[in-house]
Amino acid sequence: MRRSTNSPESTLDPIAQRELEAIEATLSGADVSPDLVDIAEFSEAIREIRPCLDDEARRRLDGKAATWATRSASSNPGARLRAWVDAATTYRLAAAAGVATTLLVAVVVGISALGDDETPRPTAEGVVATAVPTGEESASSADATASKESTASEKPAAAAYTADQRASAVFEPDIAAARFRDARNPSAHGAAIPLGPITLPNELLSKARGGVRHQLAPTLEGATGLVDINGARPVVRTFNARTSGNQLGAGRRKLDRDTSLTVSTERNRVRPVADQAVDVVHAHDGQVLSQQYSFDKKLGSSAYFEIEVPATQLDGLVDELSGLGSVESQNETGLDITKEFNTQRAQLADTRAERKVLLERLAEAVDATEIEHLNSLLADARTRIANQRQDFQRVAGRANVSTVSLSIVGHGEGAQGDKKDDGTWGLDDAIDVAGDALRIIGGVLIVAAAILGALGLVGLVIWFAVTSITRQRREQALDQADTHP
Amino acid sequence: MEGTIEAPPQAARVKAAAPTEAAFEALYRTSRDDVFAYLAGLLRDRSAAEEITAQAFERAWRKRASFDAGRGNRRAWLFGIARNAALDELRRRSRQAEMVAEPNDEFAADPASAADGIELRLALKTAIGGLEPRQRELIALKFFAGLGNGEIAEVLGVSESNVGTRIHRTITKLRRSCNEA
């Protein structure tokens, strides 16, 4: 509270300073200069009218003092708490409140963090699903959509999701089967809505984790991208129109379908399951384009296949491959190539018709120059027919043949690939757990510090305001003391 | 100032307690009369001064652990608490405004004093009673409670030089009042 150490000499004139010194000397019992005797006597007179306690009042005060001591010595916990609060300084109260708040925040954040850790979280930006119309009424608009949207760039986008999400997206065959049936029966959901590619942002994924099963289904079923929420363990799943070409009318609809499937099995059964997968592919008239088998001491073993199969066999093949183990993820993309197919076919038919007309004209031609000209046109038509036939066959091949990417991983190597498979718990696991614990604790402390800082700031402002107002009112009370004697 | 002060009945127990409590007891013994004198001079009411003195010491007792020797001396800390208690009493009075006259005005004219012929004391009491509250408080702190200028500066929250200036101005005013009387 000391505001300044300035001495009186700095602001008083010499006479006043001498008088003050004389007052001080008088009050301390010292002699003063003869010319200042009057002020010394005056000071002495003031001191002599000092109000004094009489014996009775002194005893009363001492009695009250004894009460405080008795209260202090009380062993009553309530009294001790009251005494502690009474004696508590602002700093002590702030520290206690801070500790309590920190503990509270730490508990809440810790519980939240533990809860979040138990929930699988997709790491990709979102889920990309290519929409494919499923109803006849939407064919024209679907053609327009397909012609504009079904570009080669979309398939890598879907494939990218597949690769990124494979570890976290979990596929449940029974629910998927129901979805597939729905997709095959468009009337069950009314007319399908033709939509272009859909990006499902993480905000919606967060909502999907809200615990309501099929919360986003109405939105996504129309686009044939499905998100299911399966109770306490949300399952995020995406795949495109599960509509095979033959079931949608092979004469009208042509789909280019790709499927990726990840199946887990026991660690020591990866190889036998891979062999079974090859047999299943052959049984469905498919062929294995490439296969890869890898083994890592830490990560375990895995197998990867690129498979081609007739489009009509795709569903059966996927069903059987899914039965080889536990399905970890499944992603399907379907690209409508009907317009491209029809265009290629029409161009080929037109060129063939043109060739037929030319042949007819050639049979009737007699002039050598005309014959030569017609032969030239026929050669050109044959070249175009050859090229168009190749293009058409390529499109037809895409519609008739589907590709399947199959991954077989050892049991538990998906999301927990860094853990040992033999069930033992070693130093690496301990370090991992310790790291996780430190990360959570650090996060909790940061959040707690942020909240505590904000609360402390607010408390400080309130404390300053209350203190200032109280001080101001006290000073006003002193100034007005004579008006309220 | 403590020669005739009786120790509280629980003094022995207080002495045996923590050093802070023993020091507080010493502070009580040495400052009790000074605090009363200051409060009586400020409030101009002996009974209220006695009551506020008790309140001030009780507040100080409760907050004895909060005393920080680095921020000032113990007497200044105690008188700061006493001053706040007195100002709270003044606030309470201003809210209630129930006292029409001060029955125990410490500085009211005392016929007995006049009879004794102590004219200067009578004039002084009258002059002090006519001072502004802040000047009267300064006189109470300096001459009744016996605080040094540094301690008064701590209590009032002003500089020590400002205290000296105020004291001189107040004394000058008092002398003039007494001379006029």
Pairing of strands A401-410, A300-310: antiparallel
Given pLDDT bands bounded at 50, 70 and 90, which one contains residue B81? very high
Please give the CATH number for the structural domain made up of B11-180: 1.10.1740.10
Nearest Cα residue in chain A from B13: A69
Residue with tokens 């300035």: A6
Q: Residue A33: what pLDDT?
A: 85
Q: What pLDDT is recorded for position A83?
A: 61
Residue in B closest to A65 by C-alpha: B8
- List Cβ neighbours of A140 (8 Å cut-off, separation of 6 or more): none
> Å from B30 to nearest chain A CA?
13
DSSP class per residue in A186-235: GGGG-SPPP---EEEEHHHHHHHTTS-TTTTHHHHHTTT---B--TTS-B
CA dist list (Å): B128 to A54, B107, B117, B163: 22, 7, 19, 18
Which pLDDT score, from 0 to 100, does residue B118 have? 66
Interface touch A43/B37, C-beta < 8 Å: no
β-pairing verdict for A255-265 and A401-410: parallel
Q: Residue A196: CB partners within 8 Å, gap ≥ 6?
A: A131, A145, A148, A149
> Could A64 and B28 be called an inter-chain contact, meaning their C-beta atoms sit closer than 8 Å?
no
Q: Do A478 and B134 touch (CB under 8 A)?
A: yes
Return the pLDDT at A71.
63
Q: Residue A142: what pLDDT?
A: 37
How close is the nearest chain B Cα to the Cα of A449, in Å? Answer: 26
Query: Residue A26's closest chain B neighbor by CA?
Result: B143
For strands A326-336 and A300-310, give the pairing.
unpaired
Q: What is the pLDDT of residue B34?
A: 93
Query: pLDDT band at residue B177, thresholds of 50, 70 and 90?
Result: confident
Cβ neighbours of residue A36 closer than 8 Å, sequence gap 6 or more: A18, A19, A22
Query: For chain B, how big is the Rg over CA atoms in Å?
Result: 18
In this prediction, residue A208 carries a pLDDT of 39
Rg of chain A (C-alpha set):
45
Q: For residue B66, which amino acid is it? A: S
Is the model's pLDDT at B171 over the cut of 70? yes
CB contacts < 8 Å between A and B, how many? 202
Q: Is B71 an interface residue toward A (CB < 8 Å)?
A: yes
* Whole-number average pLDDT of chain A: 70
Mutation target for B interface from A32, A37, A72: give the one with most B CBs within 10 A: A72
CB-CB under 8 Å, A62 with B134: no
Nearest-Cα residue of chain B relative to residue A20: B168
Q: Is B181 on the interface with A (CB under 8 A)?
A: no
The pLDDT assigned to A69 comes to 64
Share of chain B above pLDDT 70, in %: 73
Place of tokens 């990417």: A405
The pair phi, psi for residue A79, each rounded to 5°, is -65, -40
A-chain CB neighbours of B106 within 8 Å are 51
Partner-chain residue, chosen from B8, B53, B143, that has the shortest CB–CB distance to A46: B143
State the pLDDT at residue B110.
Answer: 52
Question: Is 80 exceeded by the pLDDT of residue B7?
Answer: no
Maximum C-alpha span of chain B: 56
Task: Tell if the CB–CB gap between B40 and A89 is shorter than 8 Å.
Answer: no
Residues A3, B158: C-beta atoms closer than 8 Å? yes
Q: How far apart are the C-alpha atoms of B153 and A74, rounded to whole Å?
A: 37
- Half-sphere exposure (Cβ direction) of B164: Cα atoms closer than 13 Å: 25
pLDDT at A156: 40
Q: Residue A390 corresponds to which tokens in the numbers above?
A: 């190749």
Mutate to test the interface with A, among B5, B28, B35, B36 (most CBs of A within 10 A): B36
Q: DSSP 3-state assignment of B143?
A: helix
Q: In A333-426, where does DSSP find H-type helix? A: 338-364, 368-400
Q: Kindly give the parts of chain A with pLDDT less than 50.
A: 1-9, 117-250, 413-420, 483-485
Instruction: Give the pair of three-digit tokens for residue A352.
Output: 């063939």
Position A124 scores a pLDDT of 34
- Nearest-CB residue to B168 (from A3, A12, A479): A12
Better pLDDT: B114 or B95: B95
Distance CA A67, CA A71 (A): 6
Structural contact between residues B163 and B152, judged by C-beta atoms closer than 8 angstroms: yes
Q: Is the pLDDT higher at B31 or at B103?
A: B31
A contacts of B160 (beta carbons < 8 Å): 2, 4-8
Interchain pair A1, B72: CB under 8 A = yes
